[in-house]
Structure 1
Amino acid sequence: MNYKWILAVSSFLLSGHALAQEAKGSADETKVEVQYLDPRDPFEGFNRAMWDFNYLYLDKYILKPVAHGYNDYLPLPVKDGVHNFTTNFDEPSSLVNNILQGKWSWAANAGGRFTVNTSLGILGIFDVAQMMGMERKQDDFSEVLGFYGVPNGPYFMAPFFGPFVTREIASDWVDGLYFPLSELTMWQSALKWGMKSLHNRAEAIDRERLLDNALDPYAFVKDAYFQHVDYKVYDGNVPTTQEDDELLDEFMEELE
């Protein structure tokens, strides 16, 4: 755990998300020029404005209170049932995406989960497949592109929706082409997205303090999101580069 914390801190300190250069024009006046230097985030000025809207207003006054109410007052079996039902719709597209990556065992797992949970699990409300040893691992089409070397692309913070990488924006629509997602109306798809997002926001309640105490919450979330995207593409086995090792060694030497 300590090693992971050091990696997170080092990535924040050494990546150089923003550099503030101060030039004193007079004794009582300071001019500050902010330069954004992260090549992964060429739209950082716009993204930070959208982050402030999402984090300081939308989440603080709407999403957070609703998520806490959902977490505190809805019984756990009901929350699990709603989450299982909404995620069950994604199993067929996950089956196809795993086939496209040549991950035959995970493709069979997705197909088995959908069959078992839709039938024995009453349309997916109960995760019977999990009880039978079939773990939930859902791949989207963006992961397929990443598997074949398509880069993440620039980071983008969307108002209301949160963080994306460009590869996701360009490819997320593909998953909606497969049954049963293709059969949902616009409003049904919006309801599914809303319930899934609400559950994910409630799951993040325990990490609120970590974010609130970050020196730069925007940069913290951005780094975490890139790690999350890479984690999904590599199924948890993200390769480390020599440059990463050198940065970590350099940071450790500074601590000593």
Structure 2
Amino acid sequence: MAFTFDATPAAVPTQAVPTQANADPAKLRDEIHRLQQRLLRARESYDQDLFSGDAEVPLDEQLKTISAYTARLEDLTAQLQQHESGAPSAVPTQPSPGGAPERAPEPPASGPYVPTQGAGTAAPTGAQQDPAQLPQPRHAQPAASAPAPAPAPAQVAAQAQVPTPRQPIPGPGITNPDGSPLVSDGTLVRTEEQAIGEYIRFAAEQRWVASTRPGQAGGYAAVCDLLLAALAHKHGVTSDEERASLVRHVDARYRRDYG
């Protein structure tokens, strides 16, 4: 706690400055300045204890002391204003005809100091405020977690190149990736098994044509790519992965048909 709160009655200097009409204005100003500093430190200490929940002096006692500081400060300020304006003092210097000195009217009691977060002034009221309505201490907030470091550009580029895995399409049917019917060499391919058989036959024949008539191998390659794309879409893999899974079957078909 930055300010050691003094809640004893001696903390309020009620007799520090005389209240007669001939009181020295300089002493009044000095006392007002000292009291303002005490009141400021008391409010800062109260605010800190209220929101930290760790008060060395009970908050109720602090509020009483702050109220007493405020009342005394108002009294001294009124005395200084009366002295500067030339008005008679509120405290008479002669006793009343009845023999007993008249007592000066007391200033209205100030209510408890109710701090507002971010404000440094008191909010006096006409009556004692219900303790249930006083601001409650704030609970400790969890520390914000540090932001995750941004990935390196090379890592981002590598992640962008990784294809997103797809789920296999259930059922025996098959189509092109865009949903259109799959046609191979003028024949409608309806099932996955039929598409695999067509791909193995055309891939083996493409290999033989590429070795004997290279100029005609392009048409076979286009049909193979079409079938591979449909099968890869069906199985949720890439075309290269689909080709690698069927290469043994193509080799076996090539040996059977073309020696």
TM-score (norm 1): 0.23
- Larger strand share, 1 or 2: 1
Larger Rg: 2
Bigger RCO of structures 1 and 2 (CA < 8 A, at least 6 apart)? 1
- Larger helix share, 1 or 2: 1
TM-score (norm 2): 0.22
